[in-house]
Amino acid sequence: MAHETTPLRWDWQAAELQRQKHFAKMVGFGTLTLVLVVVVGCSAMGDQSTVSAIRGDGAASTTCGTAANEAGYIKLPHKQDDQYFYWFFESRRAPATDPLVLWLSGGPGASSLFTLLSENGPCSVNEDLSTEINPNSWNNEANVIWLDQPTNVGYSIGSPADLDHNEDDVQDNIFWFLQGFMDKHPEYQARALFLAGESYAGHYIPAAAHKIYRENKAKRSHLNLQGIAIGNGLVNTVVQSEHGLDMVNNSYGVKLMEDETLQKAKIAEKQCTLLVAACQTNSSVCVDAGNFCQFNVMGAYIGAGRNMMDIRQQCTELDPINCYGDLVPRITKYLNSDVVRSYLKVSEVHPGPYETTSEEVEVAFAADLMKTFEQHVEELLNKTKVRVLVYHGDADLVCNWHGGLAWTKALQWPHQQEFNAAKECAFKVDDKEVGSVWTSNRLTFLRLSNAGHLAPMDQPEVALEMINRFLRNEAM
């Protein structure tokens, strides 16, 4: 398991020092500590919801192509001065009928704008800060919102009193953001809605879906939630902690640790699971549980000299996001450029610089990290018709596919036995086998080959076909 400059990343030194400043009782491991990073009264909303928004002019150098787009802020009515920033792109195909997707990156503290510009958005950023159209953008067949959240992530901003600490805060914020967006765009009120994200969004998405379900049931609102998609997500921390070492046996033939190291790590893995289980009823142990697991279990992989988010790559960087060259500084520079800030109209609301991740949010969510949220997925499967897609790039160590399949099989719902008995079938795109799929009724687990933690970046065509089939409710 793990932490994020996009979705879950590993930052051993700086983040640990930062956390020690805020948590006097934290278990410290000197300069060698892993940090998990990763990674969506209504009638009264209207006048409060929108701060600013703009329509795109189609200039590819700034707006990522010709699809109509809008960037702006939604002010959250239940907060003091919390303003959520989003960048919305209409579908390239049929915006009047295609579904609405809300994308959430992980972290905690990772900006969804980073994912937009590096994984599944309409364009990527070149070295000269021009943009290049992405033919495999997830808005090919969907209207997509990339949302910066929680509070103070990316270009979203709030007062000190608005700082979030857990999924209770997150679910309320996402719900009210969607209410504000629907007030502004009533044409999407009845449209099929999907929540999608990666990494720590394995916390965000189940919580937000739970909130939507409860509000719909109470008839306080109606959001037409049809499905959730979680990529390489941290969802059931207890079950996933039991599978932290499973990648030692991997399909890439990569030796990840020596036998002696493995034996010590296996002993630690059992203690890790006990601590994570205790965290579910005693929040005071959650920070220590996270640090113990990250150092003693995930830390055992470090000697292999591999990218923790993609074992196919040799990389000795302690923070694996640095294994991707200048990607982070390039996107940061682009989003801080005068022309882009002017286009997005962020300066009046957010005068400070854009950062891909927020250390403040990372620290604020330290006790939330090892909490488990599969109960909300069970609720969706038991009480609604919402469909669930769980997908994992199988070269990822941060949230590996073994743990993902295990927590999916552990879900308590009427079709659990059928799902667990489902055969592993080939997932094919253009008649080429690109992964494996397990599915029954409304639950699907997909293992993507030759992809790591950032699956849409590693396999863009495959990831696009995956999400489009899911949105269309087609067989994988």
Instruction: Report how far residue 204's alpha carbon sits from residue 286's, in angstroms, rounded to the nearest whole number.
Output: 18
Q: Cα angle vertex 237, ends 446, 401, to 5°?
A: 25
Of the listed 156, 199, 241, 358, which one is catalytic? 199
One-letter-per-residue 3-state SS of 143-174: EEEEECCCCCCCCCECCHHHCCCCHHHHHHHH
241 part of the active site: no
Estimate the crossing angle of helix 286-296 against helix 259-279, to 10 degrees: 170
Instruction: Report how far residue 291's alpha carbon sits from residue 1's, in angstroms, rounded to the nearest whole number.
Output: 11
Q: Cα angle vertex 81, ends 75, 85, to 5°?
A: 40
396 part of the active site: yes
- What backbone phi and psi angles, to 5 degrees, belong to 145? -105, 125
Decide: residue 314, CB within 10 A, 0-12 exposed, 13-18 middle, 19+ buried. Answer: exposed
310 part of the active site: no
Of the listed 82, 183, 396, 458, which one is catalytic? 396
| E strand map for 282-431 | 306-307, 310-314, 387-393, 425-429
End-to-end CA distance of the chain: 27
Instruction: Report how far residue 45's alpha carbon sits from residue 294's, in angstroms, rounded to the nearest whole number.
Output: 42
The DSSP H or E segment spanning 233 is none
Q: What is the DSSP letter of 120?
A: I
The DSSP H or E segment spanning 275 is helix 259-279
Our CA dihedral for 89, 93, 96, 97, rounded to 10 degrees, sits at: -110
Sign of torsion, CA 395 397 400 403? positive
- What backbone phi and psi angles, to 5 degrees, belong to 78? -95, 5
| E strand map for 191-323 | 193-198, 225-231, 306-307, 310-314
Instruction: Report how far residue 344's alpha carbon sits from residue 85's, in angstroms, rounded to the nearest whole number.
Output: 10
Q: Catalytic positions, please?
A: 199, 396, 453
